[in-house]
Chain A
C-alpha cells in the first residue's frame, strides 16, 4: 500500500498567489482529514470529509481557505489569496470507519 500521498511536498509562493495542495487517501478509506501544523498553534484540524461529503469545516481559518473532495481518491485544499501567516505544514490523513487515521508526509508551505 502506498499510504496517503500528498503533493507538492514543498511549496514556496508569494503573498497573494493561489495555492493548491493535493491529497490521495489510502484506497478503501472513507474519511479524509486536513490538518495544519505550526509551532505556535500545534496541530489543528481544518476540515474532514466522510464519504466525500464535508462534515466539519469549523477549523477552516477563513474564507480564503476551501477544500473539495470530488471523489473517493482525491482531495484538494486551496488558499486564495495566500498570506505569510498561512506558512505551515499541511497534513492530509485518511481512515476507514472513523477509526485510526493514517497521515501523509505533509506539504511544507512558505508564503513570502
Chain B
C-alpha cells in the first residue's frame, strides 16, 4: 500500500543555515510527488512537484527537491533559510493511476530562529 514517511516531526534551525526535510515513500507503481507548505492558520500551498522529467525540481523561493527512485525519497532542501520559512511542510505522493488521490506524510515543523 502507498505510504509517506517524513522522518522528522520538528526541525529547528538558525537563520541563513541550510536545511533538509526528509521524505520517503512506498509505492509499487510510478508516482507523482509533491511538497506543500502550511503557514499558521492557513491552507496548504503547493511548494514544488515532480511529475516526470528532470529529477531535480525547484520552487520560486529557493527550495529544491530531488526525486530518487532507487531510494524512494523526495527530500526538500534549502541552502539558506529565512525567518519567513517557518511553517509546516508536508510531503505527498499520488499514484499515477489513482485519479489524483494524495497520500500525505505527517508533516515537518520547520522553525527558523534568528
Which residues of A are at the interface with B, using a C-beta cutoff of 8 A?
4, 31, 33, 42-43, 45, 48, 50, 55-56, 91, 93, 95, 97-106
Contact = CB atoms under 8 A, between A and B. Distances in A.
Contacts of B34: 100-101
Contact of A31 (B42, B99, B103, B107): B99
Contacts, number: 53
Given A48-B100, A56-B101, A103 B43 contact: yes
12 contacts: A31-B100, A42-B105, A42-B106, A45-B101, A48-B100, A50-B99, A56-B101, A98-B98, A99-B100, A100-B34, A103-B36, A103-B43
A64 to B, nearest CB: 23
Interface of B: 32, 34, 36, 42-46, 49, 51, 90, 94, 98-107
B59 to A, nearest CB: 13
Given A42-B107, A43-B90, A99-B32, A105 B100 contact: no
A48 B101 contact: yes
Contacts of B98: 98
Nearest to A48: B101
Contact of A43 (B32, B49, B99, B104): B104
Contact of B45 (A42, A48, A103): A103
